[in-house]
């Protein structure tokens, strides 16, 4: 990113400085596309997964999609974008969920069969509050049989897990979820998608599908971060698997309940551990006390936790658990076993006071 700051031209300008910036931008696009095994022309730069979700549902509305199938435990970026762009004659159907928050694929198939066509299915690759991993190949198989479009919110998974992107029609990513800068991201749009419309109209950038000067600082930063994250992912996932099991072991004396899939499940991202704490009813009080003890955790999605309302995910899946405190612990590349032990000790002490 520091090197990129020396290139100050506008990538849309025709002079030498502009051409230099354009080269930088296109090299970043190629680097990202190559890491994700897609074509550079299938990557569109955006400000992140929220914008990408808004763009997808805007395109869906313009393309005449009649039914959107999703779930009640999506990220607010998806739920609100769907609400915002649903026209009066569109239907939104919510799939049943398993007790651990996994999608009920059979119900998704039933919903597609009975839906007014065309259909767009919108799901998370990794649930950002619970860590469930969706098997994209299984969802894609169902969508392809019935010719439904598939949008995947990949914000939590990209850089950590690999999948064949061409199994979906749209996949959103945010750089800050893979150690890149905040405020940049992308939308993968499968080359097979015919009808594309700009959400942000403007000066012809991003092949006239997303107006506005591209950030020649943030985008190279995102490309470098993705490479770094992909290279670290297999070691990181192994380490996080160990840390999440250790965390639950340390918390066992507190009788906390693990929300979402079991920590031993293979289809669970181990960097997210979500717990309900029966002996504490006030999530806000607990988060404040943890913050005072220099522990940064949240109740739900960071984008939503400013409000301190019970998480919509926990309230929907486990209404009885929403009455007690719940905490989402996120761990990453730098988290150590010592920090996990410290967190368990601090939580134990706070619950006693």
Task: Provide, rounded to whole angstroms, the least separation between the CB of residue 284 and ligand PLP.
Answer: 21
Of 76 and 91, CB closest to ligand PLP? 76
Structure-block tokens of residue 63: 């393309």
- Orientation of helix 218-251 relative to helix 16-36, angle to 10°: 30
Q: Which one of 152, 155, 240, 272 is in contact with ligand PLP (CB under 6 A)?
A: 155
H or E stretch at 81:
helix 76-85
Q: Which of residues 98-127 bind ligand PLP (CB under 6 A)?
A: 124
Shortest Cβ distance from residue 317 to ligand PLP (Å)?
Answer: 16
Instruction: For residue 122, give every residue at least 6 positions away whose Cβ sits within 8 Å of its Cβ, in sequence order, or none.
Output: 56, 57, 68, 69, 70, 74, 78, 82, 151, 152, 153
Please report, for residues 22, 231, 288, 293, 298, the alpha-carbon distance to residue 347 in angstroms, rounded to integers and kept in the order given. 50, 34, 12, 10, 13
Q: Point out which span in 100-108, 138-146, 151-159, 241-249 binds ligand PLP (CB under 6 A).
A: 151-159
- 93 is an interface residue for ligand PLP by CB under 6 A: no
Asked if 128 touches ligand PLP (CB under 6 A), the answer is yes
87: buried, middle or exposed (CB in 10 Å: 19+, 13-18, 0-12)?
exposed
CA–CA distance, 329 with 82 (Å, rounded to integer): 28
Q: How many amino acids of this chain bind ligand PLP (CB under 6 A)?
A: 16
Residue 174 CB partners (closer than 8 Å, separation 6+)? 48, 49, 50, 155, 184, 185
Q: Among 1, 63, 257, 303, which one carries the catalytic annotation?
A: 303
**CA 65 – CA 60 distance, rounded (Å):** 5
Q: What angle do CA 76, 40, 47 make, to 5 degrees?
A: 30
The whole-angstrom separation of Cα 16 and Cα 154 is: 36
Smallest gap from Cβ 55 to ligand PLP, in A, equals 11
Bridge partners (DSSP) of residue 276 are 257, 326
User: Is residue 158 at the binding interface for ligand PLP, with CB under 6 A as the rule?
Assistant: no
Q: How far is the CB of 281 from ligand PLP (least distance, A)?
A: 27
Scanning 194-202, 247-255, 295-303, 319-327 for contacts with ligand PLP by CB under 6 A, the matching segment is: 295-303
Does the active-site annotation cover 303? yes
Q: Which of residues 42-71 bind ligand PLP (CB under 6 A)?
A: 48-50
Q: Which is nearer to ligand PLP, 185 or 310 (CB)?
A: 185
Considering only 156, 276, 304, 335, the residue that binds ligand PLP (CB under 6 A) is 156
Binding to ligand PLP (CB under 6 A): which residues in 179-198? 185
Measured N-to-C along each axis, helices 105-114 and 136-145 cross at an angle, to the nearest 10 degrees, of 20
Beta bridge partner(s), residue 174: 185
Interface with ligand PLP includes 77 (CB under 6 A)? yes
- Give the integer Cα–Cα distance in Å for 273 and 331: 8
| Closest separation in Å from C-beta 206 to ligand PLP | 17
In the region spanning residues 228 to 287, those forming contacts with ligand PLP, defined by CB under 6 A, are none
Residue of minimal CB distance from ligand PLP? Answer: 48
Supply the minimum distance, in Å, between the C-beta of residue 129 and ligand PLP. Answer: 9
> What radius of gyration, in Å, describes the C-alpha atoms of the chain?
21
Q: Which of 174, 215, 229, 274 binds ligand PLP (CB under 6 A)?
A: 174
For ligand PLP, give the closer residue by CB, 150 or 155.
155
Q: How far is the CB of 300 from ligand PLP (least distance, A)?
A: 10
CA distance 315 to 218: 36
* Residue numbers annotated as active site: 303
By CB under 6 A, name the binding residues for ligand PLP. 48-50, 75, 77, 124, 128, 153, 155-156, 174, 176, 185, 301-303
């Amino acid at each position: 990113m520091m090197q990129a700051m020396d290139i100050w031209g506008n990538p849309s300008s025709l002079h030498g400085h502009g051409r230099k910036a354009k080269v930088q931008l296109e090299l970043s696009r190629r680097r990202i596309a190559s890491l994700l095994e897609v074509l550079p022309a299938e990557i569109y730069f955006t400000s992140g997964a929220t914008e990408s979700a808004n763009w997808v549902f805007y395109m869906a509305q313009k393309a005449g999609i009649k039914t959107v199938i999703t779930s009640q435990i999506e990220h607010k970026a998806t739920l609100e974008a769907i609400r915002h762009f649903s026209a009066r004659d569109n239907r939104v159907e919510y799939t049943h969920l398993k007790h651990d928050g996994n999608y009920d694929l059979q119900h998704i198939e039933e919903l597609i069969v009975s839906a007014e066509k065309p259909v767009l299915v919108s799901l998370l690759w990794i649930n950002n509050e619970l860590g469930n991993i969706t098997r994209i190949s299984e969802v894609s198989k169902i969508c392809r049989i019935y010719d439904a479009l598939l949008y995947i919110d990949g914000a939590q998974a990209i850089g950590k897990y690999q999948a064949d992107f061409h199994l979906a029609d749209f996949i959103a990513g945010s750089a800050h979820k893979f150690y890149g800068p905040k405020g940049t991201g992308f939308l993968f749009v499968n080359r097979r998608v015919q009808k594309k419309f700009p959400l942000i109209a403007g000066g012809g950038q991003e092949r006239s599908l997303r107006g506005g000067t591209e950030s020649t600082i943030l985008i190279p930063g995102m490309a470098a971060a993705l490479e770094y994250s992909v290279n670290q992912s297999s070691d990181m996932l192994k380490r996080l698997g160990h840390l999440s099991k250790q965390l639950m072991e340390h918390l066992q004396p507190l009788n906390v309940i693990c929300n979402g899939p079991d920590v031993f499940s293979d289809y669970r991202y181990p960097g997210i551990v979500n717990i309900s704490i029966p002996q504490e009813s006030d999530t806000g009080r607990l988060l404040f006390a943890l913050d005072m003890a220099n522990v940064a955790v949240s109740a739900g999605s960071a984008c939503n936790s400013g409000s301190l309302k019970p998480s919509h995910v926990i309230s929907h899946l486990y209404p009885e658990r929403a009455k007690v405190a719940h905490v989402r612990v996120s761990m990453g590349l730098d988290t150590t076993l010592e920090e996990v032990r410290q967190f368990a000790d601090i939580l134990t002490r706070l619950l006693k006071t």
